[in-house]
Amino acid sequence: MIIIMLGAQGTGKGTIAGLISKETNWPQISTGDIFRKNISEKTKLGIEANQYMEKGELVPDEITVPMVIERLNQEDAQQGAILDGFPRNYAQAQKLDEILAKAGKKVDLVINLSTPKEELIERMLTRRVCTNQDCKATYNIKLQPPKKEGICDKCGATLKQREDDSNAEAIHRRLEIYEQQTSPLVKYYEEKGVLRTQTVSTTINRMGKDVAQDIIKDIKNK
């Protein structure tokens, strides 16, 4: 089963994908995580990706698509996978469909997350992530703080603010790019009959874990 997480930065795609992955053993494939790993290791891909991410811009398809294709071909993704942060535009979505069709697969479910813009900005500015790449736990110093300030509850590693989360102007730009390039995918997948839109917001007391529980229940009942 192939699941895609859609939604602007800060909506909780990673949190929900992680919870589903834990229950299904399907890998959570996050382009953002792979980019950050390459950036920290100063690989050629990481250096190129960082030039775009620092400005709040999306990494070009010629860097992103081959990386995702390679990841989907790995053994642990053969029974199912959760794509977190990909596809980001119509061209990527079409390419993904082509790749899956050749393997006799298809996109089975697209979870589209919606959150008010001002709430998204606040979430990203207060978001902290575990520096341990094997853990990658995410916290929010206001909504979901760690038990000990600056320390991950799960593994004890140091928490940090992502560089692309520290600048409000860059965050605004990222949200604008999402609306321009990624939001049209909602219609694309809606027409295919696989879209499921969920609102995640403190205003309705519905967070990522609530959405994940509903999705997991539906998967297990199929």
- Write out pLDDT tens, residues 209-220: 999 999 999 888
The answer to the question of residue 138 being in a domain is no
Mean pLDDT over each residue of the chain, to the nearest integer: 89
pLDDT given at position 127: 92
The answer to the question of residue 194 being in a domain is yes
The answer to the question of residue 49 being in a domain is yes
Contacts for 104 with CB less than 8 Å, ≥ 6 apart? none
pLDDT given at position 38: 77
The answer to the question of residue 171 being in a domain is no
Is the pTM higher than 0.95? no
Q: Which residues are catalytic?
A: 13, 88, 127, 162, 174
DSSP structure string for 80-127: -EEEES---SHHHHHHHHHHHHHTT--EEEEEEEE--HHHHHHHHHTE
CATH of the domain at 86: 3.40.50.300
pLDDT band at 61 (very low <50, low <70, confident <90, very high): confident
pLDDT given at position 159: 96
The answer to the question of residue 63 being in a domain is yes
pLDDT band at 83 (very low <50, low <70, confident <90, very high): very high
Domain count of the fold of the chain: 1
What average pLDDT score do residues 4-17 get?
A: 90
Contacts for 188 with CB less than 8 Å, ≥ 6 apart? 90, 93
Sign of the CA dihedral running 167, 172, 175, 177: negative
What's the CA gap between 60 and 116, in Å, rounded? Answer: 27
pLDDT tens for residues 13-42?
A: 988 999 999 999 999 998 877 787 778 888
pLDDT given at position 87: 92
Flag the least confident range among 26-30, 66-70, 155-159, 212-216. Answer: 66-70
Q: Could you give the count of Cα atoms lying within 13 Å of 14 in the half-sphere of its Cβ?
A: 16
The answer to the question of residue 51 being in a domain is yes
The answer to the question of residue 53 being in a domain is yes
Domain residue limits at 96: 2-116+182-221
pLDDT band at 186 (very low <50, low <70, confident <90, very high): very high
The answer to the question of residue 169 being in a domain is no
Which pair of structure tokens corresponds to residue 190? 């809606």
Contacts for 205 with CB less than 8 Å, ≥ 6 apart? none
pLDDT given at position 20: 95
